[in-house]
């Protein structure tokens, strides 16, 4: 499970995206703005990402999902949850993988283990990516707000966003990334705890400071 520490910082890190839709494209915009290189992928192939790459500029390129995973220092999986078993495993080994996914049974079909409370969607992704270090983040913020509602540290308007993961070092890496992107990371515990900020929970989609977010996480009832 352990891999080398990732130092996050502009010009040092490539963020590889599995999924380049509403959230993937917005996180890519924020990453470029913050000085990172990005490699984007989707299900249809790199040629369908031409317009987005042109918008993002020379620090962005399009690739297949396997290539984006291989190029990533940090990966982002941001796809409809039902496709999680298609995420490439081997090229993500040892890497920090940010999971923005939400389980919507209306879109994804029924997953009994989640419905019964025995699993979380992020726990299932971690089981699939057994040699990676999955951190759930950015699952409860509207895509547009990733660029429109980011604020510098100390700004009273700065939002707290929950993160969860089983590897403390990976969580610290993702918390540092959130900080650079303009958000305070709020530690919500392990992947097994991540139900606390899933759909229908008080923390899900909430616009709150870090302190407010901690209160909403504590108020969650499964
Ligand atoms: N929209 C939001 O505001 C929001 C907020 C927080 C979290 N989320 C969650 O984040 C995830 C992504 O949401 P979204 O709104 O960005 O979805 P979206 O706009 O539908 O984009 C999904 C992306 O995933 C790609 N994709 C689908 N299957 C794939 C596969 N097997 N391999 C590689 N790429 C694949 C799609 O590519 P193609 O277009 O080529 O199929 C597309 O680029 C979802 O789980 C969603 O619930 C969404």
- CATH label, 14-218, candidates 3.40.50.720, 3.40.50.1370, 2.30.110.10, 3.30.559.10: 3.40.50.720
Residue 174 has pLDDT above 90, yes or no: yes
pLDDT for 9: 63
Q: What global pTM score does this model have?
A: 0.96
Strands 160-165 and 133-136: antiparallel
Measured from the Cα of 83, ligand 1's closest atom is 31
> What are the b/e assignments for 65-80, b being 16+ CB within 10 Å?
bebbbbbbbbbbbbbe
Tell me the CA–centroid distance for residue 156 and ligand 1, in Å: 31
What is the structure's pLDDT at 1? 37
DSSP string, 40-89: EE-SS-GGGGHHHHHHH-TTEEE--HHHHHHH-SEEEE-S-GGGGGGS-S
Q: Where are the domains of the chain?
A: 14-218
Give the model's pLDDT for residue 189. Answer: 98
pLDDT at 7 over 80: no
CB of 64 shorter than 6 A to ligand 1: no
Residue 74 has which token pair?
């940090």
Tokens of 60: 């962005």
Q: Is 47 in the pocket of ligand 1 (CB under 6 A)?
A: no
Quote the ligand 1 centre to 160 CA distance (angstroms): 23
The phi and psi torsions of 128 (rounded to 5 degrees) equal: -70, -45
The pLDDT, as a whole number, for residue 2 is 43
The 10s digit of each residue's pLDDT in 16-43 is 999 999 999 999 999 999 999 999 999 9
Q: Is the pLDDT of residue 105 over 50?
A: yes
Q: Tell me the pLDDT of the chain averaged across its residues.
A: 96
Confidence (pLDDT) at 6: 61
Q: How far is CA 46 from the centre of its chain?
A: 21
């Amino acid at each position: 499970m352990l891999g080398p520490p990732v130092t996050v910082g502009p010009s040092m890190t490539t963020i590889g995206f599995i999924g380049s839709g509403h959230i993937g494209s917005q996180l890519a915009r924020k990453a470029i703005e913050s000085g990172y290189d990005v490699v984007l992928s989707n299900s249809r192939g790199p040629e369908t990402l031409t317009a987005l790459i042109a918008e993002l500029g020379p620090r962005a390129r399009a690739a297949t999902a396997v290539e984006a995973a291989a190029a990533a220092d940090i990966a982002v999986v941001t796809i409809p949850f039902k496709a999680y078993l298609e995420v490439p495993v081997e090229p993500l080994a040892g890497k920090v993988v940010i999971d923005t996914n939400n389980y919507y049974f209306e879109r994804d079909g029924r997953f009994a283990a989640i419905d019964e409370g025995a699993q979380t969607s992020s726990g299932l992704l971690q089981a699939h990516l057994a040699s990676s270090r999955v951190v759930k983040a950015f699952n409860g913020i509207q895509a547009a707000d990733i660029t429109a509602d980011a604020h510098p540290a100390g700004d009273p308007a700065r939002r707290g966003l929950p993160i969860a993961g089983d590897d403390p070092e990976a969580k610290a890496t993702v918390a540092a990334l959130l900080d650079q992107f303009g958000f305070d990371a709020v530690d919500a515990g392990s992947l097994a705890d991540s139900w606390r900020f899933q759909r229908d929970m008080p923390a899900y989609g909430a616009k709150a400071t870090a302190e407010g977010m901690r209160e909403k996480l504590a108020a969650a009832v499964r």
